[in-house]
Amino acid sequence: MERAMPEDGSNLASMRAANSPNAFDLRRVGAHPDCWYPIAWCDELKSGCTLARRFAGQPIVLYRGASGRVFALEDRCAHRQVPLHLGVVKGDELKCHYHGWTYDCSGKCVDVPYLGKERLPNGVQGYPAREIDGLIFVFPGDPALAESRLPGSLGSSQRKDYKTRRLNREVACHYTFMHENLFDMNHQFMHRKQMGSIRAMCIGRQHGEDWAQVEYSFSRTAGNPSMGERVIVDLVRKRGEKKKAFSDHMRIRTDYPSQSLKVWIGRDIKETNDPALDVWLCYTPLDAEQRTNRTYGYLSVKKPPIPGLIHAVWPFVVWFTENIFREDKEIVEYEQRAYDAQGADWNNEVFPALRDLRGVLSRCGRLMEPRE
């Protein structure tokens, strides 16, 4: 990938510069287009229908052809620039609503009714599109790279031994705030109404060219857990396991451009053991300045041995996680407003794991054009 700018977390001068209003601005690093990004749920797009979406200010039309496949084109006709999502799906082609110009699934113009097929104008841009685990992904960058960079499975969302809910919300902030918020569990003080007073302890961090990982354990310093938190813990507790011996371990990882969070409770932390909680997330920028994003994700909870129990308590799980996500959404939007007011990234970041993450985001993203 084309790099934005390296960030050396071990260099003191670099750390001082990063806390200066004149430092390299991570919020001007755009999501790199040479990656796959979710832009819709599969069941939102019916056969023979269109759907208007955006990626970083680029209008994209999705349509499902007669073959059942999903295609993605630039959402404006090459003729009069009207949105193609107003058009009509015919077979695996898309016909513009205005004058009937017809485009194939690659964006090539294949018919203009009043010109014939001998004098066809240029078409529109086409994007690779793929359905993966219930989400429609597009690849807005170099199509030659698309196949080699396909995502794998999205957490545990398709496993029958997990119960899964969708995460789907528009958030008014730059996507890098979302990565940082999840990665940094030192903000648990903010969730004290939901979880009591929790202290996070970083027990490990690793990072590479395009990934960063941090691991935590937690201790309760005051207060009691909410009903939702108790339900999640009790659901995954092994039969006969004593509460006083119960422990947890959280692993958060950014594999650019997506993130995952896994929690093991009362289990040895081994790659062969299933996590009690498995979350997959990706943040698709919507506007050209990338100050808003659509967060797509899955939250999966391991089913307990008692049949049907998880369905009975699921409303508590939803209530608890919705409150946590609401608080996170509010705080990152406050961060975006502070950035807008200051005109630069003044964040005084000192947590080493978060500096690792910022380095990954700066290396893997692509600098946006300066504001006029």
Segment of 29-43, 224-238, 336-350 carrying the highest mean pLDDT: 29-43
284 near 302, Cβ under 8 Å?
Answer: no
Task: Give the span between the Cα atoms of 371 and 270, in whole angstroms.
Answer: 47
What confidence tier does 204 reach under pLDDT thresholds 50, 70, 90? very high
370 near 28, Cβ under 8 Å?
Answer: yes
Q: Which of 27-41, 83-97, 192-206, 294-308 has the lowest mean pLDDT?
A: 192-206
Whether the predicted pLDDT of 39 surpasses 90 = yes
**141: DSSP letter:** S
Residue with tokens 């793929």, as numbered in its chain: 130
Whether the predicted pLDDT of 231 surpasses 60 = no
Residues 292-302 have a mean pLDDT of: 97
* Same fold yes or no, 37-149 and 162-367: no
Task: Give the span between the Cα atoms of 172 and 228, in whole angstroms.
Answer: 27
Pairing of strands 162-171, 50-55: unpaired
Identify the pLDDT of residue 49. Answer: 97
Task: Give the span between the Cα atoms of 194 and 143, in whole angstroms.
Answer: 45
| DSSP-assigned letters across all residues of 74-116 | ESS-TTT---GGGSEEETTEEE-TTT--EE-TTS-EEEBTTTB
Percent of the chain with pLDDT over 90: 66
Identify the pLDDT of residue 272. Answer: 60
5 near 367, Cβ under 8 Å?
Answer: yes
Whether the predicted pLDDT of 107 surpasses 80 = yes
What confidence tier does 16 reach under pLDDT thresholds 50, 70, 90? very low
Q: Residue 55 belongs to what H/E stretch?
A: strand 50-55
Whether the predicted pLDDT of 17 surpasses 90 = no
Whether the predicted pLDDT of 15 surpasses 50 = no
Q: Which of 26-40, 102-116, 136-150, 282-296 has the lowest mean pLDDT?
A: 102-116
Question: Where is pLDDT greater, at 305 or 67?
Answer: 67
265 near 276, Cβ under 8 Å?
Answer: yes
* Identity of the residue numbered 123: G
Which among 183, 181, 185 is positioned nearest to 171, based on CA atoms?
Answer: 181
354 near 177, Cβ under 8 Å?
Answer: no
Domain ranges (residues) in the chain = 37-149, 162-367
Q: State the fold for domain 37-149.
A: Rieske Iron-sulfur Protein (2.102.10)
Q: Say what the pTM is.
A: 0.88
Instruction: Render pLDDT for 153-176 as a digit per residue (tens, 0 to 9).
Output: 999 999 999 999 999 999 999 999
Query: Does the domain formed by 162-367 have CATH 3.20.20.140?
Result: no
148-157 CB burial, b ≥16 within 10 A, e <16: eeebeebbbb
Q: Residue 167 belongs to what H/E stretch?
A: strand 162-171
Q: Residue 335 belongs to what H/E stretch?
A: helix 309-342
